[in-house]
A = this chain, B = another copy of it.
Amino acid sequence: MTLPATVAVDVGGTKIRAGSVIDGELAHVRSVPTPATSGAQAVLDTIAEVTAAVVAEASGSHGGESAWRIGIGAAGVIDPATGTVVSATDSLPGWAGTDLVTELSARSGLPVRVVNDVHAHALGEAAAGASRGTRSSLLVAAGTGIGGGFITDGHLLTGRNSAAGHVGHVPSAAASGLACPCGGTGHVEAVASGPAILNTYRRLVDTSDSPTSAPNSVAGHEMAAPAPGNTRELAAAASAGDELALRAFDIGARALGSALGGISNILSPEVIVVGGGLAEMDETWWAPLREAFAAELIPATSGTQLVKAELGQDAALVGAASLWNAEQRETR
């Protein structure tokens, strides 16, 4: 008897992770750097290599015959129906326009399904994570950017141009006038993403340093450790009690919580699952997020759950594998 087995692959701008999923169990996970600057063909070759390695290792340990197929969550706007990259950011030069299904089927000899990586993340949490067993859920990935995926009755909403789920690109009063990576201004990502919070911190420092507005606390601040150079260091500064760092996280979290409250009033999901790097923060970030979220809910949506993602970086792999579940399909 030949059993179905899936190689799940998560293709990001910096690394490619892959693992086997057999009977819902993720195993044989490996990770390699993405040869992003070498172009799409090099990335495809690397995906094929790591996929073959997972198959070889899993087949050796699994015993019996398996019917392998590939499920991919990939960076960029992905059309699951055609398996092509509709558009992509500069982090993967030449990625836009790549026909992932055709290219990887040709390299591997295996059937391939593909979806956007954040959408895979949403499918993974719904299949086996924080939103398992719900009829509707919104996954929000809050980190370098802010993305999301909405699932209703087991179906991922992909939308026109496969563009659904860009939860970071709703207007936010706290982001008024701030440039957003999408090219627009005033979107919540421009104040609530990790890099945006670091920018807020730097503006707060600049403002506090100016003689006209410097409060007493600033003197102490200037005597502290070297200025945080990334969001991780800023989080450490906040944990150590740095007032401006705390304020920057508070501003970002409130902006995101407010946006997610508004989105709840439109989608009314059972649960909003928050993952990504910012979700790893403590109550410094979660408390204002929850408070601002609850403040936006109308009576009919009050009580909507806002919880932390459970599967970490494995979510995209579990979700990519779920593309091969019989009941899974996308909805527009």
Among B77, B136, B162, B262, the residue within 8 A (CB) of A170 is B262
Within the complex, the shortest CB–CB distance from A251 to chain B, in Å, comes to: 14
* Alpha-carbon distance A167/B301, docked complex (angstroms): 12
Q: Which residues of B contact A304 (CB under 8 A)?
A: 160
**Known pairs A169-B262, A172-B171; A163 contacts B87 (CB<8 A):** no
Q: Which of A119-145 contact B (CB under 8 A)?
A: 135-136
Q: Which of A90-138 contact B (CB under 8 A)?
A: 135-136
A268 touches B163 (CB 8 A): yes
Q: How many copies does the complex hold?
A: 2
A299 touches B136 (CB 8 A): no
Kindly specify which of A27-35, A147-155, A196-204 makes contact with the partner chain: A147-155
Within the complex, the shortest CB–CB distance from A78 to chain B, in Å, comes to: 11
* Alpha-carbon distance A269/B157, docked complex (angstroms): 10
Chain A interface helix/strand/loop/mixed: mixed
B298 touches A163 (CB 8 A): yes
**Is A266 at the interface (CB under 8 A from chain B)?**
yes
Among B87, B150, B299, the residue within 8 A (CB) of A299 is B87
A296 touches B166 (CB 8 A): no
User: CB-defined interface of A18-60 with B at 8 Å, one 1/0 digit per residue?
Assistant: 0000000000000000000000000000000000000000000
Across the A-B interface, the 6 shortest Cβ-Cβ residue pairs: A159-B268, A170-B262, A163-B300, A173-B173, A169-B265, A163-B268
Q: List 8 contacting pairs A-B, 8 Å CB cutoff, sorted by A.
A: A152-B157, A163-B300, A165-B268, A169-B298, A170-B262, A170-B296, A182-B299, A184-B296
